[in-house]
Amino acid sequence: MVVIANTAARGYRPFFVYYAPEADSPATEPPAASPGDSLHFPIYDKTGDPYTDYNHPRSIDLKDPKNVHKNFEYDPDSNRYNYSEMIGGDFMRNPTYMTMDEYLKYEGQQQEDNYWQKRLDGLMQFNKTPELPQMYKDGLFDRIFGSNTIQVKPQGNVDVTFGGNWQNIKNPLLTQRAQKYGVFDFDMQMNINLLATIGDKLKLNISNNTKATFDYQNIQKLDYSGKEDEMLKKIEAGNTSFPLKSSLISGVQSLFGLKTQLQFGKLWVTAVVSQQKSQRKSLTIQGGSQNQQIAIKADNYEENKDFLLAQFFHDHYDEALANFPVINSLVTINRIEVWVTNKNGAVNGVRDVLCFADLGEASPYKTPLTNPSSGIRNGLPDNNANLLYQELLRNPNGRQQSYALNALIPLGLTQGVDFEHTTARELSSTEFTFNPTLGYIMLNTQMSPDDVLGVAYRYTYRGKVYQVGEFAEDLPPDTSNPKIIFLKLLKGTSERPALPLWKLMMKNIYSLGGFGVSKDNFSLNILYQDPGGGEKRYMPEGNKEGVPFLTLLNLDRLNSQGEPSPDGLFDYV
């Protein structure tokens, strides 16, 4: 028996056919479904209604092919959307319709899914390595570079850190400006590699790492390699080397310049024009000590670390060392205070200071400050050596933080040239050393170019006591009315050779870069690099021709026993 059922629901008319066997036919029952026959991820057949099909549970069924065209058509009479799926000109399924509410819900779900899918695709792009396209150029390009392919492969990372460090110290002993301190912190770390190939001959290799331990780890190299039958074999620009096959003369491994290699039949020519970026040092261990050769250029002196205390000590420096090791000086510095710009946020020993270049100078830079009736002979440094200190004490507003700079205008002084105003901290005795007879100080750490250095010191000369600047105990801290200290300026924020301060920075002190140096087996040579004759230990020409540089610079006056008899060796004292 066959029963045909016809149903009508929301505009579509599917047919269901049920077949039943005749009564006289043998009874058959469908086999029972076993649990293993059901799918773990079942596949649902579509009903033709997009709203119903869209809300079906997700399955692993394939999507509709691209030749299935899905169309919505709005019917204004019934206020609904007719939906159809067609392949070519034939209906794939019976048309159906959706109400206005069902269509709006269906479109809203579609747009929401599309939005999140675009967000997911955008995030996936950051996890993919970009693939650069290959570029091609035919003709002359192919003949010069051996191929018509251009490839560029960049990789690496750049890390930028920006922040700030601000602190507010509620310490009544400090000035209002010293209580608040802030500084920006900016740091950038970069590690970039770029490998570009043009054809089969030209390669560009660039590697830059800010955390590289050695300079040779950063590479900038352009390499052109010719074919076997070409005269031009190789061109290297940037980081290159010049190795030699000889065991007697070793080549140089770290050069920066241009290197070419040519072939003329059986003749090979290699030429290099470059700057050497490496140096060779040898270290010998003997008897439990290290022996090492160190080469220092004359202009590589310690900068912003060693300073003379006044122009007087600069003018009498050679005179005091004329009979070295006996120092001809009648000066003995008994006390000294050193002040530098407070950049590390110290709270103890911090004061507002005014540092003057002409303070204590018998021949001041500003001639109107000259004091011919000071009574100080030989240009000795003292607060009364010129009229500056008296003029500062005459104006009571000169010590007030708010009026100090205005009080200096009548004197014709210029900030950055004649004086510096800053908040400074006093250095401890372990942060510097000083020579009490020659009158200079040596800082343990190098100062920054924008740091200010001021001092106050007291010394005796022929039994008389002189003082330059003011000590902290002369003006005790006053929380209600903080006062400024007057100091002698040794280093300002603007260092220029035209200013007298330029002579106070010592340029005859060098760092060996080692420690534990002993007199045994120590030797020092001063060499002159003659452009046409190599390195020479003596004056090559002139009225001092043939005289060793050690003798010309008065570095060889004693023998090994310390007696005043030159022996051709550096005097280690």
pLDDT over 50 at 74, yes or no? yes
Q: Would you state the pLDDT for residue 368?
A: 67
pLDDT tens digit string along 332-388? Answer: 999 999 999 988 877 788 889 999 999 999 888 876 666 665 555 568 999 988 889
Residue 247: pLDDT band (50, 70, 90) is low
pTM score, two decimals? 0.55
> Contact, 488 vs 469, CB < 8 A?
yes
Q: Would you state the pLDDT for residue 26?
A: 46
* Rounded mean pLDDT, 393-413: 82
Encode 477-497 in three state secondary structure. CCCCCCCCEEEEEEECCCCCC
* Count of CB atoms situated within 10 Å of the CB of 412: 10
* Count of CB atoms situated within 10 Å of the CB of 20: 9
* Rounded mean pLDDT, 456-475: 93
* Count of CB atoms situated within 10 Å of the CB of 333: 19
pLDDT over 80 at 535, yes or no? yes
Q: Using CA atoms, how far apart are residues 59 and 366, in angstroms rounded to an integer? A: 94
Encode 226-273 in three state secondary structure. CCCCCCEEEEEEEEEEECCCCCCCCCEEEEEEEEEEEEECCEEEEEEE
294-300 long-range contacts, CB within 8 A, separation 24+: 294/512, 294/513, 294/514, 296/510, 296/512, 300/510
Question: Which of 83-92, 212-221, 460-469 is the most confident on average?
Answer: 460-469
Residue 314: pLDDT band (50, 70, 90) is very high
Strand partners, 180: 168
Amino acid found at 425: R
Q: Which two tokens stand for residue 359?
A: 């303070």
Question: Which of 9-13, 67-71, 272-276 is the most confident on average?
Answer: 67-71
**Phi-psi label, residue 200: left if phi above 0, alpha if psi -120 to 50, beta otherwise:** alpha
Q: Lowest-confidence range among 74-88, 161-175, 203-217, 276-290? A: 276-290
User: Where does 169-231 show beta strands of DSSP type E?
Assistant: 180-198, 202-209, 219-225
Q: Using CA atoms, how far apart are residues 94 and 13, in angstroms rounded to an integer? A: 7
User: What does 328-366 look like in DSSP terms, one character per residue?
Assistant: ---EEEEEEEEEEE--S---SSEEEEEEESSTT-SS-SS
Computed over every residue of the chain, the mean pLDDT equals 80
